[in-house]
Structure 1
Amino acid sequence: MKLARTILLSLLGFLLLIFIVALFFPKTYTVQRSLVIKQPAEKLYKEISDYNDFKDWNPWSQSDSTTKKTVEGQPSHSGHKYSWEGQKTGKGFMIITETKSPTMVHSRLITTTPMESESEVDFIIEPVEGGTKVTWKNQGNLDYPFGRYFGFMVKDMLEKDFDKGLENLKNYAEKH
């Protein structure tokens, strides 16, 4: 009986520790990566704001050949939507909510599997010496308590994906 009580108290203490520690972790995350591409801002804006093109250069499309992709709505306008479903990529959609040609595309990203999440995605496009600087930014909330533990990994994962995606965009824009 004493052993069962000790085990139960240890488990409760461990769970309490998980919840208490999570209180001190960040509630939100922001990931941002940039690359200068030797293409005009107008061309890059078109490649980013048209999900018919985005589906060809985003890094996740290349990582899962089973992914079914659907594009709806008018490119470069609010309501333009990119949906996907794949074994590795999970299921979700991204929908443009605001654009400012040729400098900005703002979207809402919603995933339903493998886990539910919502975040905001921005592409900032600005002419600079030597080309156009494209900044890809994602920010969202981290659910309490377990999402906050995941927050430490999401930054590393997304930074690598964004770097690869921006390189893909550069190569795609130079070929088309």
Structure 2
Amino acid sequence: MKKTPGVLLAVIVLGLFVAISRRPDTFRVERTAHIQAPAELVFTLVNDFRYWEQWSPWWKLEPTQQVSLTGAAWGVGAVYEWRGRRTGSGRMEIVESRPYEYVRIRLDFLEPMRATNTTEYVLTPAPGGVALTWVMAGENTFAGKALQLFSSMDEVMGRDFERGLADIKLVAESLRGAARPSVGDAGFRGDSDSRDAALEVVVTRQHPNHE
């Protein structure tokens, strides 16, 4: 008996549903770079959102996105919110910070799909500098599992991590001979207003004094 188009379609849909549901319930993407620069310099680049424009692969993807920095000036309580046509929208908040060792961020994607993940930056001593490990982990939503049928999360996000780490390495190593910054020092590339104007990025800052 010949199968009707409706039956064939149902079989295909069921097959896709089964394939998607069998994808892992969680994901983890991890990359490491060895950086010939002081730990305090590398730490500041990730612990203070004001410096992310210098190395974030997503800022470079869409430098005209709208960014709002609120909460603490740096470290725990610092909040970074973004909205763009290519990068969607979302929110990051630093929830744990140990000077020169570790930064943990809660990452909430709002558009084009909702998801909550954890991002970590781990610094470990290495000859001549530090090894910086960038990790993102979270639960796989059904939509996320569906996308992974066509491309690997590790492959797609891993490329972004590699680009970001390469730029952190470039910035940190170019500054290693300069005076070492303290946590929250904002003196790498001039005042923030001039940087924002040059990049045509709308940035709103509401930084109270950090204790």
Is the TM value for this pair above 0.5?
A: yes
Does the aligned pair in 2 maintain the 1:93–1:111 contact within 8 Å? yes
1:66 to 51, 64, 67: 64
Point out the more displaced range, 81-90 or 66-75: 66-75
Alignment TM-score, normalising by the size of structure 2: 0.76
Per the normalisation by structure 1, the TM-score is 0.90
Matches within 5 A, 1:87-166: 87-144=85-142, 146-151=143-148, 152-166=151-165
Question: Once the 2 structures are TM-superposed, how far is the Cα of residue 36 of structure 1 from its aligned partner?
Answer: 0.8
1:20 to 2:18 alignment: yes
Distance 1:170 1:160, change over 3 A: same
2-structure distance, mates of 1:168, 1:85: 22
Give, as a single letter, the amino acid of the residue that structure 1 aligns with 2:82.
W
Higher normalized helix content (fraction of residues): 1
Deviation (angstroms), 1:160:
0.7
CA contact (8 A) 1:55 1:69 kept: no
How far residue 74 of structure 1 moved from its aligned partner, in angstroms, is 1.9
Kept after mapping to 2: 8 A contact 1:76/1:99? no
- Counterpart CA distance in 2 for 1:147 and 1:160 is 17
Q: Percent identity?
A: 27
- Structure 1 match to 2:167: 168
Residue of structure 2 equivalent to 1:30: 28
3-state SS in 2 of match to 1:105: strand
For the residues of structure 1 that align with 2:67 and 2:53, how far apart are their CA atoms? 7
Give me the whole-angstrom Cα distance separating, in 2, the residues matched to 1:24 and 1:82: 34
Contact 1:93/1:109 (CA < 8 Å) preserved in 2?
A: yes
| Count, aligned residues | 173
Distance 1:65 1:43, change over 3 A: closer
| Equivalent position SS for 2:152 | helix
* Root-mean-square deviation (Å): 1.8
Distance 1:22 1:69 in 2: 34
Asked if structure 1 preserves the Cα contact closer than 8 Å seen for 2:28 and 2:138, the reply is: yes
Structure 1 distance, partners of 2:9, 2:49, is 48
Task: Give per-residue Cα distances to partners, 1:46-75, cap 9 Å, x unaligned.
Answer: 111000012331111011132111111224
Mark the runs of 5 or more structure 1 residues left unpaired by the alignment. none
Conserved 8 A contact 1:40-1:127:
no
Q: For residue 24 of structure 2, what is the amino acid of its counterpart?
A: P
* Contact 2:53/2:60 (<8 A) preserved: no
Secondary structure, aligned partner of 1:115:
coil
